[in-house]
Amino acid sequence: MRQTPLSGVFGVENAGHSWEALQQAVDQLNSLVEDRDMLAENLENLVKKERLEGMLAGRQEGRLEGRKEGRQEGEHMKAEQIARNLISRTEMNDQVIAEIAGLTVDEVSRLRPEIKH
């Protein structure tokens, strides 16, 4: 008889001696197939769960990044408004306004034509 990795495990070699032994060997093999199917289903469910958790983490990271960008944009808009106010109410030069408002000199220079004294 040919030897296999499962030889001797299920008594398959001796299953031909009686119907009962044959039925027991078949039952054991069927049980293994069911176990394999359950493991495959569990693995599939685990993959789905991991994928979902990854998507949720990605969404959370996107929200945080969006909030951060929104705050930065708001801060920049506020700095531009401060610069506009200084341009319209003072005789300060662009360098001084840029330092006070937290903008570059070029940004202040671009705002100046918008303002009427």
pLDDT at residue 117 greater than cutoff 80? no
Decide if 111 contacts 84 (C-beta within 8 A).
yes
pLDDT grade, residue 6 (50/70/90)?
A: low
Question: Where do we find the tokens 């960008």?
Answer: 69
pLDDT at residue 39 greater than cutoff 80? yes
pLDDT tens-digit readout, 64-86? 999 999 999 999 999 999 999 99
pLDDT tens-digit readout, 19-37? 887 788 788 888 888 999 9
Question: At residue 14, what are phi and psi to the nearest 5 degrees?
Answer: -100, 0
Distance between CA 54 and CA 61 in Å, rounded? 10
Task: Calculate the alpha carbon distances from 116 to 85, 90, 101, 107, 113 in Å.
Answer: 11, 12, 19, 17, 8
Supply the Cα-derived Rg of the chain in whole angstroms: 38
- E strands, the chain, where? none
pLDDT of 12 reads 55
pLDDT grade, residue 18 (50/70/90)?
A: confident
Domain ranges of the chain: 12-114
pLDDT at residue 15 greater than cutoff 60? no
DSSP string, 27-64: HHHHHHHHHHHHHHHHHHHHHHHHHHHHHHHHHHHHHH
Decide if 12 contacts 25 (C-beta within 8 A).
yes
